[in-house]
Amino acid sequence: MTPPAAATSFSIETKKLSLWYGSFQALKDVSITIRQGEITGLIGPSGCGKTTLLRCFNRINERYGYVRTTGEIRILGKNIYDTDVSLIELRKEVGMVFQRPNPLPISVYDNVVFGLRVHSGLGSLRKSVLDEAVEKALREVSLWDDLKDRLGVRATTLQLDQQQKLCIARLLPLKPEIILMDEPCSALDSEATLGIEELMLSLVGTYTILIVTHNMAQARRVSDECAFMLLGEIVEHARTENLFLTPRDPRTADYIEGRYG
Hey, where are the domains in the chain? 10-256
Asked whether the beta carbons of 175 and 143 are under 8 A apart, the reply is no
pLDDT of 192 above 60: yes
Percent of the chain with pLDDT over 90: 88
pLDDT of 120 above 80: no
CA dist., res. 164 & res. 158, Å (int): 9
pLDDT of 176 above 50: yes
- Mean predicted confidence (pLDDT) in 118-136: 84
Strands 208-212 and 178-182: parallel
Band of pLDDT at residue 259, cut at 50, 70 and 90: confident
pLDDT of 3 above 80: no
Residues 6+ apart with CB under 8 A from 213: 41, 42, 43, 183, 185, 219
Residues forming beta bridges with residue 238, ordered by sequence position: 226
Residues in the chain: 261
CATH fold of the domain at 10-256: Rossmann fold (3.40.50)
Query: Can you give the pTM of this predicted structure?
Result: 0.92
- Mean predicted confidence (pLDDT) in 188-199: 94
- Mean predicted confidence (pLDDT) in 142-171: 97
- Mean predicted confidence (pLDDT) in 12-16: 98
pLDDT of 122 above 80: no
To the nearest 10°, the Cα dihedral for 225, 94, 20, 232? -10
Residues forming beta bridges with residue 211, ordered by sequence position: 41, 181
Backbone phi and psi for residue 38, each to the nearest 5 degrees, phi listed first: -120, 170
